[in-house]
């Protein structure tokens, strides 16, 4: 199931050690002035120079665009893996809190190649589709932004740390989202939890709401139908109410650390593992364009879906 979305859909492929990543964006209406430099700029935010793997991430579009405008046909694209060609490390260790063990259980093979799909590298495809969604959204006055909330933790050399990201969708019309199982925030939650290393999602007051009284929490409306407060984070009963959609996403520390850790190999023998790769210290700030891309994707998809509700 490498497809995301109902009407506006991304299907993608690519192994982190293979020749390239790529995808197909389907359901994109015809007639959009296609802004390739913007896509490239979003990709650049994701591949900020840092400690970890850093690629040029030049995207090549292969279909669905003619004379700089979308045609309504599916948009195929590829992004080369420059570092990837090197060497698929088929080591025999189960890296702690990594995908190695669960992939072995799921697919029955003990090479690391498959792990390519769980790598953060996969998120380049999300950023491309998200950038296309953002192009449409900005034509409708909708923006998606995000920031890292400060962490008070000091990170020793060779270690990693988690992060909380807060994002805001601004300019949304009221009425987006489906009442029961496809609530706007249910879709957002699934989108966020599908990002590697994500461990939590909350909207508006989120977990704080559990300790609030109804009389404190309820958002009262003004005579112009705007709201005096936004404890609900812009979504009520699963449907946008026209206020900013505000949500937060929790990420765990990147599991690959340079410090030595106990672990086992595929045969169950105890051993020691220390990552020798240069890894990022934290998913932030490189995860920001990914969070925004997924939020933009969900928003645009539900805008298209809403149109199918009427006749």
Choose, by CB under 8 A, the member of 58, 269, 277, 278 that binds a copy of itself. 269
Q: Does 155 bind a copy of itself (CB under 8 A)?
A: yes
Nearer to a copy of itself, 37 or 270 (CB): 270
Q: CB of residue 40 vs a copy of itself: minimum separation in angstroms?
A: 19
Among 51, 156, 277, 278, binds a copy of itself (CB under 8 A): 156
If we measure between CA atoms, which residue out of 161, 244, 164 comes closest to residue 200? Answer: 164
Distance CA 270, CA 266 (A): 10
**Applying CB under 8 A, does 180 fall inside the site for a copy of itself?**
yes
Identify residues 192-231 at the interface with a copy of itself (CB under 8 A). Answer: 192-194, 196, 198-225, 231
Identify which range of 38-46, 47-55, 174-182, 285-293 contacts a copy of itself by CB under 8 A.
174-182
Please report how the helices 288-307 and 123-139 are oriented relative to each other, as an axis angle in degrees rounded to 10: 50
Three-class DSSP category at 275:
coil
Residues 93-152 that bind a copy of itself (CB under 8 A): 94, 96-99, 101-103, 105-109, 111, 113-118, 122, 136, 139-140, 149, 151-152
Tell me, by CB under 8 A, how many residues bind a copy of itself. Answer: 157
Interaction of residue 166 with a copy of itself, rule CB under 8 A? no
Answer left, alpha or beta for residue 303, where phi above 0 means left and psi between -120 and 50 means alpha. alpha
Instruction: List, as own/partner pairs, every contact residues 59-65 make where C-beta atoms lie below 8 angstroms and the sequence separation is at least 24, other chains included.
Output: 59/124, 59/128, 61/34, 61/36, 64/25, 64/28, 65/34
Decide: is 7 part of the binding site for a copy of itself (CB under 8 A): yes
Under rule CB under 8 A, which residues in 278-307 are in contact with a copy of itself? 303-307
At 233 the three-state DSSP class reads coil
Distances (CA, A) of 279 to 126, 290, 303, 305: 21, 18, 38, 40
Per DSSP, 32 falls in state P
Is 253 among the residues that bind a copy of itself (CB under 8 A)? yes
Query: What whole-number distance in Å separates Cα of residue 240 and Cα of residue 169?
Result: 11
CB 203, min distance to a copy of itself, A = 6
- From the CB of 213, what's the least distance to a copy of itself, in Å? 5
Minimum CB distance to a copy of itself, residue 42 (Å): 19
CB 171 within 8 A of CB 141: yes
**Angle at CA of residue 195, ends 191 and 198, nearest 5°:** 105
> Closest CB to a copy of itself among 43 and 282?
282
189 binds a copy of itself (CB under 8 A): yes
Among 39, 128, 131, 263, binds a copy of itself (CB under 8 A): 263
Confirm if 23 and 81 have CB atoms less than 8 A apart: no
């Amino acid at each position: 199931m490498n497809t995301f979305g109902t009407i506006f859909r991304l299907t993608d492929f690519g192994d982190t050690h293979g020749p390239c990543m790529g995808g197909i964006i389907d359901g994109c209406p015809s007639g959009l002035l296609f802004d390739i430099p913007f896509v490239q700029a979003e990709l650049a935010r994701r591949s900020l120079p840092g400690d970890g793997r850093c690629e040029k991430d030049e995207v090549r579009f292969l279909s669905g665009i003619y004379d700089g405008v979308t045609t309504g046909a599916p948009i195929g694209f590829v992004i080369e893996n420059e570092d990837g060609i090197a060497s698929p490390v088929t080591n025999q260790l189960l890296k702690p809190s990594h995908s190695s063990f669960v992939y072995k259980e799921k697919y029955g093979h003990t090479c690391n190649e498959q792990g390519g799909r769980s790598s953060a590298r996969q998120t380049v495809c999300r950023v491309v589709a998200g950038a296309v969604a953002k192009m449409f959204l900005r034509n409708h006055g909708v923006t998606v932004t995000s920031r890292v909330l400060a962490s008070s933790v000091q990170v020793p050399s060779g270690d990693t740390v988690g992060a909380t990201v807060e994002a805001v969708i601004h300019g949304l019309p009221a009425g987006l989202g489906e009442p029961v199982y496809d609530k706007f925030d249910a879709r957002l939650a699934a989108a966020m939890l599908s990002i590697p290393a994500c461990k939590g999602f909350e909207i508006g007051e989120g977990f704080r709401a559990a300790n609030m009284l109804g009389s404190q929490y309820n958002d009262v409306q003004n005579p112009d139908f705007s709201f005096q407060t936004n404890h609900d984070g812009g979504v009520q009963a699963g449907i946008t109410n026209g206020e900013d959609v505000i949500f937060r996403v929790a990420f765990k520390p990147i599991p690959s650390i340079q410090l030595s850790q106990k672990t086992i190999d595929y045969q169950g023998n105890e051993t020691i593992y220390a990552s020798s790769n240069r890894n990022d210290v934290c998913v932030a700030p490189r995860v920001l364009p990914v969070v925004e891309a997924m939020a933009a994707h969900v928003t645009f998809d539900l805008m298209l879906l809403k149109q199918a509700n009427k006749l």
